Amino acid sequence: MPVNDHARVRRYATTPDLIADTLRDEILRGDVPPGQALRQEELAERFGVSRLPVRDALLRLEARGLVHVYPNRGAFVISLSADEVREIYEMRILLEGDLIEHAVPRMTADDWRRIDAAKLDAERSADGPEWVEGDWKFHRALYEPAARPRQLAMIEQLRGTVARYSVARTTLPSRTPDWLADHDAIVEAARARSAVAAKRRLVDHLRRAMGLVLAQLEEGRDE
């Protein structure tokens, strides 16, 4: 355990959110592999807290799609098969494509300020460990004008479920220009008020992402 874990918890006050954020970062970095058990008693000792905030933190991670909590068995990092990854991405394609189609006609000048700022942040973080969060902020800014919070929450959970597999550190750096070019194309279509074109470019973007994740899973099986 890194020495600064206790310091972080004690300096900012012990909260389930802080514990959940720490574990989330470790899962996304690959420090905690898919299928790994997250034992409450071990985490409580690690963070110097009781088991109650740890339990709440694990439930937060489950809501984000990163952990599954089984009654009487405990919590485990989500482990997905290729078929499950494909199903999740196909669900995302349906939900996100529908959402951007509703969002584009409603985008205002204020929305575009938020979209442009989120796009710039995503570009700045594209080569670093925060790229997943930056990418989601950009997509969320695109979708929010649709004013469909339940649909947006469903998308966020689905993205969280495959986020661990999206962090293809051996692949992403070489694909960053393509990734950002996809963002440019989506924004160009949305700014032109072409909801159909924005949806088509978004769907192409998500299908390429699915292909990368499936290829990463295949490589993992071959190792």
Are 206 and 156 in a shared domain?
yes
What local confidence, expressed as pLDDT, does residue 6 receive? 46
Domain boundary at 29, 62, 77, which? Answer: 77
Domain boundaries, position 181 = 82-222
Lowest mean pLDDT among 25-29, 160-164, 216-220: 216-220
**Structure pTM?**
0.78
Are 43 and 125 in a shared domain?
no
Q: How many domains does the chain have?
A: 2
Are 59 and 103 in a shared domain?
no
Are 109 and 193 in a shared domain?
yes
Contact between 190 and 107 (Cβ < 8 Å): yes
Contact between 71 and 127 (Cβ < 8 Å): no
Are 88 and 145 in a shared domain?
yes
Most confident of 54-63, 120-129, 185-194: 185-194
> What length does the chain have?
223
Specify the CATH number for the domain of residue 55: 1.10.10.10
Mean pLDDT of the chain: 86
Domain boundary at 51, 77, 103, which? Answer: 77
pLDDT at 2 over 60: no
pLDDT at 32 over 60: yes
Contact between 143 and 188 (Cβ < 8 Å): no
Are 53 and 19 in a shared domain?
yes
